[in-house]
A and B are shown apart, each in its own frame.
Chain A
Amino acid sequence: MINQIRKRIIVVGNGMVGYKFCEKLINKDKLNQYRVTVFGEEPRPAYDRVNLTAYFSGKTLEELTMAPFSWYEENGVDLYVNEKVTTINPVEKFIISDKGKKLEYDKLVLATGSTPFVPPVPGINKQGVFVYRTIEDLDAIIEYAKNVKSAAVIGGGLLGLEAAKALLDLKLNTNVIEFNPRLMPRQVDQTGSEFLQRQIEKLGIEVHLNKTTKEVSGNDCVDGIVFADGQVLKVDMIVVSAGIRPRDDIAKSNGIKVGERGGILVDSQLKTSAEDIYAIGECAVYEGMVYGLIAPGYKMADVVASQLTGETNEFTGADMSTKLKLMGVDVGSFGNPFAEGNDIVNVMIHNGLGGIYKRLLIDKNSKTLIGGILIGDASEYGKLLQICQAQIKVPDSPESLLIQLKSSSEDSGVAAFPDTAGICSCENITKGQIIEAYKNGSKTVADIKKCTKAGTGCGGCVPLITDIINLEVKKSGGTVNKSMCGCFSYSRIELAEIIRTEKIRSYWEVLGRYGKGRGCEICKPAVASILASYQNEFVLKHQDIQDSNDHFLANIQKNGSYSVIPRIPGGEITPDQLMAIGAVAKEFNLYTKITGGQRIDMFGAKLEQLPKIWKKLQEVGLESGHAYAKALRTVKSCVGSTWCRFGVQDSVGLAIRIENRYKGLRAPHKIKSAVSGCSRECAEAQSKDFGVIATDKGYNLYLCGNGGMKPQHARLFAEDLDETTLIKYIDRFLMYYIRTADRLTRTATWLNKFEGGIDRLKEIIIDDCLGICAELEAEMQYQVDTYKCEWSEALDDPEKLKRFRPFVNSPDTDTTIQFTEERGQIKPLILEEVSNHKPMMGDG
């Protein structure tokens, strides 16, 4: 009954924009006046084509799907997949599908999208040529790639580079061919392209610019590409990504007007030349322009859905700004990055070392941002886009917009945005809407995403959303909870301050005075570390609060056995020591491996063997390597000027002196260092917490680098230092880090959060602007003076040695620890059911 009076909307095409239209309409159609019918030619409901490449890296079709079949059902949308509309009769207002379905409509929305443009060169129809648009295309590429070795992508635009990454991930020798003199010609300038190219080539992709494809060679299958300049590139397969063409055939053949260069002509209401027919997304052309990005497509969907539900709304063009991560490289382009003229000034950063290029185009009269390009680091993209779109005046020193000093919320600039500022341009959500959602109970990014859909499109605005939430938390008087754990309402930094200034000497004292309860596995080792950093007593004096590794002065491994690493300062070792390590490993049947820090690790020691092993190691002068501690680990070195014909300083000597100075120093996290004897940097000092590179005048000091999960280059801190000054700066740096870093925070993360960044750190450590350097140096000198090898102390203490046995009531060894063999050495034998209650005896 009701259905009869409801008007029917037919949507032709079920891509992202077609889907978004349905979603918007259903939300706006409070009167339930429409019945929506959707035709999609693909065999499945709309999926996230923007993130299609994620399909290669394991994202499932389900995860990529915008909404499952059930969503359409629940919302009363009739979805016909695998069915294509072939005829439109704009006069009698009906459509016919390829399955013969004839349906009348009141409103028709064309969301037919685009097809990849394939240049019509000879041979392009050979086997092994693909496009990159649908799941089926990807499946076909994956299948074909199994039997070939090399591939080329024709087209060095955004999508082409994504395709290239996908091919690289399929282990193919990958080439990118671009007709223009630069990559991503629509988003990036020449310099930006060069930066991008360098990063991409590092991954092993070959880039060919200024190349016009003349012919695809091969018999039935592709075997190469012939270029217009006569050069030939041998490849086994080709993916074409040379731009898109709007799919306007259905419009054209039914009398709806299309543009000269294709695309269904629309006005600002997205109306086509035929009454009650709209076109949205990539199939539409507005004022001569096809919008091939998702945000404008969504905007169009919103405009049509608004009109149909009685709101006024229009499309007046859209920003082509975009931010993405291409092959691990941030790329951002916003506003008009190619603006020219006398009134335009440029502010640029070229950091060849870090692979970072940033360019802002500023109108010098109005002091507004016209556009910009970000390569290598696009973390300020959201902020800059806002400043550009809201035409906020740039600061007097606009370079401050490009240099990220700290990652705290005040700095993102989001506080200065008006409530009307758009935050999510895909979903068109403003700052005000996010604040409102927050106030209505959406307290996390996930909540905000769910409630407003902000951040669910390209995801570029998620950092801004986070900042807005943090600002609101602060405004409402809340603080981000910094308590270390349930036992203390203090952060590590505050506890370090308490212990340092009040000279507290035990965990139980600090827990009694400043904490509550029995303590826990978080605060115990943290306090143990602080106590060691300031009092440097034997760590086993506080054995009851040490983590298992510090407790037994060795590294626990997956089967409960331990590994042993003696210190090998600077990586220098005598043949006698080397033989002693070999002899010990042989005697106790340990697995040996060279570590990344230029020392030797021995695995598979049982608890009761540790003292015996160390007794032997001490006999040849080997000390604890503190591999088990949050402490200084190693100071790597290259061979230096003593042997190397390029070396300018004795890097090994300096590395040994540094390692011996700071050995045993406990810190909030592990500390690694290296010394390189010349600028060739063979010791990789720039990836260390502190690194030294020799120059012909002295030493350059680099601080706060990090390998690991989030690699970060160390920052140049001071140049051409003599050794005394160098050591002085490192002393101050390390003690200042210990004083002010949070628990388990490496120096790189510490610096990232450090207010004022590296410049402020220089003021504190070099200029002594806080007047604390004498104190820091004294604290370090105390550490150096009170150093003792922990294993030699342990071996002298029979009481402590009692702990090194598996059972306090039996001399037995732990038979649940078992080994098997691999490549001539032991390896742990992990039996799923080795347990107390089903004891496995030595039957292997």
Chain B
Amino acid sequence: MSEWVKVCKKEDVLRNGGSCVKVGELQIAIFNFESQNEWYAVQNTCPHKKQSVLSRGLTGEDQGEPKIACPLHKNSFSLKTGKHLGGNQDWTLRTYPVKIENDEIYLNMI
């Protein structure tokens, strides 16, 4: 079973950057890499200090792994797996599959 939820338009998300959407009371950060045409969505809350700020961080890559660095203390997380790249196993982001149809962004919430 899967549940795709339409959240926003493609153009709402900063190109080569991130934006935050609200789904119910959940905050979800959506990121894209333009040249790779890759889209990712993860929880907006950084597991370190539990602040909802990840969409305001800078994206990048670490040895090929797309990542997001938290703007507060620069903790980096894989956008693919949600894993903390510093190796803290208690800090794993929830990730959400993303699909784009007709320039609309859908997240799979299950």
Contact = CB atoms under 8 A, between A and B. Distances in A.
A518 to B, nearest CB: 4
A231 B61 CA distance: 72
B36 interface: yes
Nearest to B60: A520
Given A556-B53, A836-B26, A544 B16 contact: yes
A808 interface: yes
A392 interface: no
Interface string B11-27: 01111110111100111
B40 to A, nearest CB: 12
Given A806-B20, A809-B21, A812-B22, A548 B57 contact: yes
B61 A544 contact: no
B58 A545 contact: yes
A544 B28 CA distance: 19
B60 to A, nearest CB: 3
A752 interface: no
Contacts of A807: 20-22, 27
Interface string A114-157: 00000000000000000000000000000000000000000000
Contacts of A545: 16, 58
Interface in B57-108: 57-64, 66-67, 69, 71-72, 74, 76, 94
A621 B66 CA distance: 43
A624 to B, nearest CB: 19
Contacts of A839: 25-26
B21 to A, nearest CB: 5
Contacts of B69: 520-521
Given A560-B53, A807-B22, A835-B45, A521 B58 contact: yes
Given A832-B50, A836-B28, A836-B45, A521 B7 contact: no
Interface in A472-531: 486-487, 508, 517-522, 524-525
A519 B44 contact: no
Contacts of A841: 25
B63 A556 contact: no
B51 A809 contact: no
A559 B33 CA distance: 27
Contacts of B44: 836
B58 A547 contact: yes
Given A543-B17, A544-B14, A806-B20, A835 B50 contact: yes
Contact of B63 (A486, A519, A817): A486
A809 B16 contact: no
Interface residues of A, number: 43
A547 B60 CA distance: 12
Nearest to B25: A839
A486 B8 CA distance: 33
A521 B19 CA distance: 16
Contacts of A518: 33, 35-36, 59-61, 66
B19 A808 contact: yes
Contacts of B13: 808
A520 B65 CA distance: 11
B56 A816 contact: no
Contacts of B76: 521
A807 B28 CA distance: 9
A559 B51 contact: yes
Interface in A531-565: 543-545, 547-549, 551-552, 556, 558-560
Contacts of A520: 58, 60-62, 67, 69
A834 B50 contact: yes
B59 A836 contact: no
A630 to B, nearest CB: 15
Residue picked from B14, B27, B49, most chain A C-beta under 10 Å: B27
A522 B60 CA distance: 9
A560 B57 contact: no
Interface string B25-48: 111100001011000000111000
Interface in A747-766: none
B52 A837 contact: no
Contacts of A521: 57-60, 69, 74, 76
A833 interface: yes
A12 to B, nearest CB: 49
A833 B74 contact: no
Contacts of A549: 71
A525 B60 CA distance: 12
A548 B76 CA distance: 14
Contacts of B61: 486-487, 517-520
Given A517-B64, A808-B8, A832-B50, A558 B72 contact: yes
A832 B15 CA distance: 32
A524 B60 CA distance: 9
B13 to A, nearest CB: 7
B99 to A, nearest CB: 16
A11 B66 CA distance: 61
A70 interface: no
B51 A560 contact: yes
Contacts of B50: 831-835
A841 B76 CA distance: 28
B43 A544 contact: no
A500 to B, nearest CB: 23
A487 to B, nearest CB: 7
Contacts of B45: 816, 834-837
A834 B56 CA distance: 18
Contacts of A836: 25-28, 43-45, 52, 94
A486 B53 CA distance: 25
Interface of B: 7-8, 12-17, 19-22, 25-28, 33, 35-36, 43-45, 49-53, 56-64, 66-67, 69, 71-72, 74, 76, 94
- The list of the 9 closest CB pairs from A to B, nearest first, reads A520-B60, A548-B71, A839-B25, A521-B69, A521-B58, A808-B12, A518-B61, A544-B16, A809-B8
19 contacts: A486-B62, A486-B63, A517-B61, A518-B33, A518-B66, A521-B58, A521-B69, A543-B17, A547-B71, A552-B56, A558-B49, A560-B53, A560-B72, A808-B21, A809-B22, A831-B50, A835-B50, A836-B28, A837-B26
Given A518-B33, A834-B45, A836-B43, 15 more contacts: A518-B61, A520-B67, A520-B69, A524-B60, A543-B14, A548-B57, A552-B56, A807-B20, A808-B12, A808-B19, A809-B7, A816-B45, A832-B50, A836-B45, A841-B25
